[in-house]
Amino acid sequence: MKKPPLLIFFVSASLGLFAQNNFAAANIPVSLLKNANVVVRRHDLKFEVLNQGDAIETEHKVMTILNERAEHETDQYFWYDPIVSITDIDGAVYDGSGQLIRTIKRKDVQDVKGAEYAVNDNRMKIIQFPRLPFPFTIEYTVVRKYHGLMIYPDFYPQESMSESVESASCEIVMPAGLEVRVLEMNLPTGAKTGPLRWDFHQITALSDEPFSPVEYVPLPRVLSAPTKFTMEGYEGDMSTWESYGKFIEKLNSDRRELPLATEQKLRTLTADCPDAACKVARVYEYLQQNTRYFFVGLGIGGWQPMPAKSVDEFKYSDCKGLSNYTVAMLRAVGVPAYYALIKAGKKERNGQYPDFPNPRFNHAFVCVPMVPDTLWLECTSQTESCGFLGDATDDRLALLITPEGGKMVHTPAYDEKNNSILRTTQLALAADGSAVLQSVDIYRGIAQSEVAGMVGMARAEQEKIWYENIGLSDFEITALDIHLQKGRLPEARCDLSLSVPKFASISGKRLFVPVVALAQKITVPPMELDRKYPIQASGRGITVEDNLTIALPAGYTLESGFESTAYSSPFGTYELSIKKTSEGQLHIFRKLVLNNSIQPNTQFESFLTFFKNIAKADKTKLVLTKAT
């Protein structure tokens, strides 16, 4: 173990921590202030691997906080557990001139349990730096000891677009005979300065550009992962997805035994099922009715699930335990199913890398291969439809854990063909401009998720959400009812009635009637014409179709005809048409389809034209005149 070099590194960092420095805000280059809320003055990470299961990591970071938008940085959190311990930690805070105001020793650092609502052995240390007048600077050094090495660190010299970097470095030190794999992303030219060393200088903050792809992160990253590793007595190989899957299978394989009584109950439950799909639906319903989610972070760092027998007995577990339990139940009724790992999160669709085996997963669920279509089961939800994945796990890579090893597959993608809002509205317009609306809205796919989440809320809470989201200036909700229909593509139906005192405006004998009643009008936020990033109109794609029928007040007619409008672009299509019905009513048809394609910045002009045309069409008002 090379203690002297590490000791020298840490002592020198600590000495620099409180010595005279150039942390005065006036010393920050002007180029680093543009678009920035934080300037990283120094960020150095050294990760020294001692052997297959042990390592020491030393991190030293100095940040100048420029304004209140970055005030949250004054609370720094450092997680630890039996696998990764914190052996030393301290810090300091400086005013805008770089003058040392306060040093923070180990005794000043809070030590708390990570989550009181979970069964785990995670804790965290918290440094709460004093808030000073902006700008001011915080600094910390933390030393971590790894007692299991399935996870190597990631290095983000620039952690957000509103952060600029004066200087940063990352170094990995490996012992002879042990290999590390590295994935470099968005690195500036010349950043790699050694076989396992990277240095960064003068990285400017980036401006935010609306309608950039949610997953588009043009920030530099250095990701690292082991080949051979050891975790709490388990040895693993991560050189391929197949070998890593074998390691996870080894953790799970002896934890799928069910009580005989439960197996018999499941067989009886599915005895009359004509096919495997029926059995999956029955078992999934049984899971939802008999278990609940509760995080359990014990056992090889929270990677090993609770035994299926324990889940069956206690009726709770986390995603790992519930998924393992579901696999066991399905296999008990003769349906092959696989435990699967995924990087869950609305912004994590690109969170895994097919050619870089690594353990960066945060969720487990179940895959049931079937003909013609594979079923995916979210085992932590007591309300989700069987076979439907929401926007936290859709359209991304997942790792199937099979007896033969890991296999990368892609989860279902929900696009504008699956995600839709179909709205049918009857509007009775009065001569004074007031209106009564009755609408039936059908939400499908990802679009139904938020509406489905309102079920179970108090009526007042439901109404509050609608009041905040309906684009009318003055209205009263007189009826609201939400119903759910489960299925592979679930639906939420909302029956809504409104009283609108001033739906149409009056000028003399004319009424000016908007063509858009309940649909969200398209708006175009201010955007720089010098577009740098790709463009995406909708994160997943959506189709919104409105059929609005207006019963006119007695004696009023449409003053002039209306030309139908239609626009098409690489981002989608738009239609708006108005017709008179045989009953003398007006029928307004509006359909907006936004796809999820990612277009290059060269399409920015086309994007602006498309959205501006829609915004203009949505502002159309019909003119009704009263016969004299």
Whether the CB-CB separation of 526 and 516 falls below 8 Å is answered with: no
| Structure confidence at residue 116 (pLDDT) | 60
pLDDT at 527 > cutoff 60: yes
Instruction: Express each pLDDT in 364-379 by its tens digit.
Output: 999 999 988 899 999 9
**Dist. CA 304–CA 247, nearest whole Å:** 11
For position 117, what pLDDT does the model report? Answer: 60
Alpha-carbon span 50 to 357, nearest angstrom: 22
Supply the pLDDT for residue 328. 98
User: Which amino acid is located at 591 in the chain?
Assistant: K
Per the prediction, the chain carries an average pLDDT of 93
Residues 198, 169: Cα–Cα separation, whole Å: 6
Ranked by mean pLDDT, the top range of 125-129, 229-233, 519-523 is 125-129
Q: CA-CA distance, 607 to 603, in Å (whole number)?
A: 6
CATH class of 240-410: alpha beta
At 15 the pLDDT is 39
According to the model, what pLDDT value does residue 106 have? 83
Topology adopted by domain 3-211 = Immunoglobulin-like (2.60.40)
- On the question of pLDDT at 11 being above 70, the answer is no
Q: What is the pLDDT of residue 98?
A: 96
Q: Under the phi-then-psi rule, with left for phi > 0, alpha for psi from -120 to 50, and beta for the rest, what region is 571? A: alpha
Give one DSSP letter per residue of 467-504, joined into a string: HHHS--SS-EEEEEEEEEE-SSS-EEEEEEEEEETTSS
Measured CA to CA in angstroms, residue 197 lies from 44, 46, 47, 353 at distances of 11, 9, 10, 22
Q: Is the CATH number of domain 420-626 3.40.50.2300?
A: no
pLDDT value of position 528? 79
At residue 298 the predicted structure's pLDDT band, cuts being 50, 70 and 90, is: low
pLDDT above 70 (res 10)? no
> Which residues, in sequence order, are CB contacts of 3 under 8 Å at separation 6+?
none
Assess whether pLDDT exceeds 90 at residue 392: yes
pLDDT of 543 above 50? yes
Amino acid at 473: S
- The domains of the chain are located at 3-211, 240-410, 420-626
Q: For residue range 162-185, what is the model confidence (pLDDT) as tens digits?
A: 999 999 999 999 999 999 999 999
Res. 582 pLDDT band, cuts 50 70 90: confident
pLDDT at residue number 523: 82
Residue 14: pLDDT band with limits 50, 70, 90: very low
pLDDT of residue 5: 41
Mean pLDDT, residues 85-98 taken together: 96
Q: Is the pLDDT of residue 301 over 70?
A: no
Structure-block tokens of residue 303:
């990677």
The pLDDT assigned to 486 comes to 94
The C-alpha atoms of residue 122 and residue 134 are separated, in whole angstroms, by 34
Quick check: helix, strand or coil at residue 340?
Answer: strand
Residues of the chain above pLDDT 90, percent: 84
Calpha distance 277→280 (Å, rounded) = 5
Predicted pLDDT at 7: 40
Do 3-211 and 240-410 show the same overall fold?
no
Strand, coil or helix: what is 298? Answer: coil
Name the residue type at position 526. Answer: P
| pLDDT higher than 90, residue 52 | yes
pTM of the model: 0.91
DSSP reduced 3-state for 59:
strand
Average the pLDDT over each of 161-165, 230-234, 289-293 and give the range with the smallest value.
Answer: 230-234
Amino acid identity of 159? E
Q: What's the rounded mean pLDDT across residues 288-306?
A: 85
